[in-house]
Amino acid sequence: MTNVHTVSNLNQQLQHLVAEACSYPTKSLMRRQKLSEIVRVVMKSGKLWKENTPYYNDALQQTWLYFCRNPEQYNPDSCSVLTWLDNCLKWRLQDFRSREAEIQAKTVPLSSLEIENTTNTVESLPAATDIPPILEETYQWAFTDPDNDLASTHVKGRPDVTCQILILRRLPPETPWKNIAKEFNLPPSTAPNFYKRECLPRLRNFALRQGYHEIGH
């Protein structure tokens, strides 16, 4: 009975937070703060759908990206916030499953040696894992993309491979470069080189603005 009551309270809290977030202008600080609070409350609750798959974290990041850009899509009359987020996450997991099946059917795998030789110089680029505050702030910055700079900066001819996607993929837990190359059907050096050229300077500028001096080595 207590558990049901707790879930009910959580749903009410989340519905209230979503309504608050939607009441603020799209790129306002208050809206970003409310969206970040929702992410924290949901993740802390541990009640979001879980699945033991290698692409779960990527699907989760995409779910949060979608939510932070489209909180108005949630309809409180149809289901709870958690149920809606669960459904969004399950759809993205299904997308990954379908994409992986397609890749396996079509792609001739590159040798792991070739991938290792190409990427070993940039394999250690993501934010350090021993400083949680900057990591959490970096996640929130990349998720909400306040200036729409990360989402609009992309690999030439590939608007689907953006700074936003790559930064989120490379924050801990890191998606290996070879997985990213396979997922987006890219030459093995394209994503890490773009990351070094376009994403790292943005990460470092963000760190400096936040008062940190070490990020993205």
Smallest Cα–Cα separation from 114: which of 178, 166, 161?
A: 178
- C-alpha 145/C-alpha 68 separation (Å) is 9
Q: Is the pLDDT of residue 13 over 90?
A: yes
Between 61 and 137, the higher pLDDT residue: 61
Residues 6+ positions from 2 with CB-CB distance below 8 Å: none
- Determine the pLDDT at residue 58: 84
Read off the pLDDT of residues 110-126 as tens digits, 9 standing for 90 and up.
Answer: 444 444 444 444 444 44
Mean pLDDT, residues 12-24 taken together: 93
Identify which of 30, 84, 82 has the alpha carbon closest to the alpha carbon of residue 22: 30
CB 146 within 8 A of CB 32: yes
The residue-averaged pLDDT of 19-31 equals 89
Element (H, E) at 215: none
More confident site: 153 or 66:
153
Say what the pTM is: 0.50
Q: What is the mean pLDDT of the chain?
A: 78
What confidence tens digit (pLDDT) does each residue in 156-201 have?
998 889 998 898 888 766 788 988 898 889 999 999 999 999 999 9
Q: Which two tokens stand for residue 28?
A: 């306002």
Distance, CA of 39 to CA of 146 (rounded, Å): 16
pLDDT at 62: 83
pLDDT at residue 189, as a whole number: 93
Q: Show the tokens assigned to 52.
A: 């033991």
154 vs 100: which has the higher pLDDT: 154
The per-residue pLDDT for 19 is 94
Q: Which residue has the tokens 């997308």?
A: 95
- Write the burial class of residue 213 (CB in 10 Å: 0-12 exposed, 13-18 middle, 19+ buried): exposed
